[in-house]
Amino acid sequence: MSGFFATLKRIGSERDGWLGLAFTLAILVFALIGPLVGPDPNAIDIKARFAAPELAHLLGTDNLGRDLAARTSVGTRYALTLAVMIVVISSIIGSLIGIVAGIAGGWVDRAVTAVFDIVNAFPPLILAFALIALYGKGSATFVLLVTVVFIPQFGRMARARAQTLRNLSFIEAERMLAVHPVTIVVRHYLPNVAGPIIVLASMNLPVVIAFEASLSFLGFGVQPPNSSLGTLIKDGFVSINQSWWPTVAAALVLAIATLGATLLGEALRRVIDPKSTGAR
Amino acid sequence: MTDAIAISNAQLRFGETAALDGVSLTIPQGTCFGIVGESGSGKTTLMRAVLGLQKLDQGEIRILGKPLVHGRAALRERASFIQPIFQDPAASLSPRSRIRTLMNEVGTVLREPHAATHERLAVILGRLSLPPGVIDKYPHEISGGQARRVAIARALLMKPSILIADEPTAGLDVSVQGDLLNLLQDIRRSQNITLVVISHNLAIMRLIAENAVVMRAGNVIEGGEVGSLFGSPQEVYTRDLLAAWPSIRAVNTKG
Ligand SMILES: Nc1ncnc2c1ncn2[C@@H]1O[C@H](COP(=O)(O)OP(=O)(O)OP(=O)(O)O)[C@@H](O)[C@H]1O
Ligand SMILES: [Mg+2]
């Protein structure tokens, strides 16, 4: 794992990367440790409703007097969990499909590319409403939707890399030794496709976080009793006349999370894959 | 005895260029056979066709009497007959796998216990003067010359009866070139392998090959026993090729 720490060190040595790392770390601590040490996010205390930030409630309270710091950290954890899950699933599925298409060529390749094009032809929001109509709203639909939307991006990148790799001597040497095709894909294609895929995945994390927030804000994403950053912003928005704290707190965390992840993703790209331009 | 490789009327075009323009040749078993020709004459393309990496437009290739067919079952069978050593051997080792993993893969293909594979490997590594420690390295951690011998070791582990080496001495010191050729020759003799050597360097053909063909623009223009072929070439092209390579006076390893 020394490569992992070396990468971290190189990211930290750049100003943008350092900021990204710091923001991301702060968000991670907030999301992972906050729920463990903070007060109960669902404890209602009507007397203390709409409290401004104070020692007992670091970010104030909402319309039911629930602690906003606790609620936001749980919401952040939920949003991050969804985002990581989506990016991991779609990058693995996308890479495998892309590699197979790149190796197979011919009609398999044309079919896969056509499906990718069709999926990406729909604006994500339209696709979201279609899937919500089919499967109902909720986190599962959201995960399915965003995974489907992101698969083509990973797939295209993996396909292009696989097409290059296919003609390299070391892949041909594996084929000449009649090594099993699954072994060739897993052991010789995947690791050589992984670099740019990891970069793309990290650059997509903030996109997913923001997309989830916007869908949840519209009421189509995460459903109660779960709360995510988007639902927190929405809940705060409803009572913004009584108190602007809930909205600002959640929006601030959303901003730091997406900004941090974006800067980190950019820095990671410069370190891992300096040749690419980052264009999708 | 059936020929190791028999090619008849192999034709292959890449757009306008006829990379193979009706090549016919036969390579007898157990010999060392040379394919020479200038850059772009179609040597590598011919090798790739023989390996099944490149489909022919026309013509037929037989390996040990069996027509070359594409598909996984055929590939699996062919792998145990014929193995390549690619033009750039360092590039033929998967960059993110340890040499050990690459060697184990061969054992898996042969359905052989890893212990048995490594027993055979130890002998081969010794033969190629490779330290046993190389198997724990990644390809980028070994030298170019070592990578070449590792690639040869891996091919030999498959127990092929035919070995095709594309420019096996390219990029090597003249002093090391002779060593490598001697080594290949030794292995060929002791394991009764058919060795096909591709090169644009006629001098090395004189050193190790018994028979050779001269290729030009996708055609075989001349062929025969090396002594007479290069001793009294019939074609001007062959004479020109010969003139380009001052003969190297080295120990003749043929025989
Ligand atoms: N994949 C390909 N696509 C298009 N043209 C090709 C391809 N492979 C080879 N050629 C062309 O076919 C001809 C023969 O190439 P080949 O690589 O077989 O030559 P060679 O004799 O091995 O040369 P060298 O000594 O430089 O290795 C050349 O004109 C080359 O440009
Ligand atoms: Mg060549």
State the complex-level ipTM: 0.87
Residues on chain A touching B96 (C-beta within 8 angstroms): 188, 191-192
CB A70 within 8 A of CB A44: no
Is B171 strand, coil or helix? coil
For residue range A83-118, what is the model confidence (pLDDT) as tens digits? 899 999 999 999 999 999 999 989 999 999 999 999
CB A166 within 8 A of CB A106: no
**pLDDT, position B250:** 42
CB B26 within 8 A of CB B42: no
Query: What six digits make up the tokens of B252?
Result: 């003749």
Mutate which of A176, A180, A188, A190 to test chain B, going by most B C-beta atoms within 10 A? A176
CA of A105 relative to ligand 2 center, distance in Å: 25
Which residue ranges of chain A lie beneath pLDDT 70?
Answer: 1-2, 273-280
More confident residue, A263 or B171: A263
**pLDDT, position A274:** 64
Tell me: pLDDT of B255 over 70: no
Which amino acid appears at position A111 of this protein? A
CA of B92 relative to ligand 1 center, distance in Å: 18
**pLDDT, position A152:** 94
For residue range B211-243, what is the model confidence (pLDDT) as tens digits? 999 999 999 998 888 888 887 777 777 777 777
**pLDDT, position B246:** 58
- Whether ligand 1 lies within 6 angstroms of the CB of B211 is answered as no
Q: How many CB atoms lie within 10 A of CB A167?
A: 9
Is A239 strand, coil or helix? coil
**pLDDT, position B245:** 64
In this structure, which residue's CA is closest to atom 6 in ligand 1? B14
Q: Given the CA of residue B38, which atom of ligand 1 is nearest to it?
A: 25
Percent of chain B surpassing pLDDT 90: 55
Nearest beta carbon to residue A170 from set B75, B76, B95: B95
Largest pairwise CA distance in chain A: 76
Query: How distant, in Å, are the alpha carbons of A76, A266, B100, B134, B148 from that of B129?
Result: 59, 46, 17, 11, 12
CB A128 within 8 A of CB A215: yes
Residues on chain A touching B151 (C-beta within 8 angstroms): 173
Query: Is the overall model pTM greater than 0.95, yes or no?
Result: no
* CA proximity to B149, closest of B108, B103, B82: B103
**pLDDT, position B247:** 54
**pLDDT, position B191:** 87
Reported as a pLDDT band with limits 50, 70 and 90, residue B169 is: confident
Give backbone dihedrals phi and psi of B67, rounded to 5 degrees, phi first. Answer: -60, 140
For residue range B89-147, what is the model confidence (pLDDT) as tens digits? 888 999 999 999 999 999 999 999 999 999 999 999 998 889 989 999 999 999 888 89
Mutate which of B14, B81, B94 to test chain A, going by most A C-beta atoms within 10 A? B94
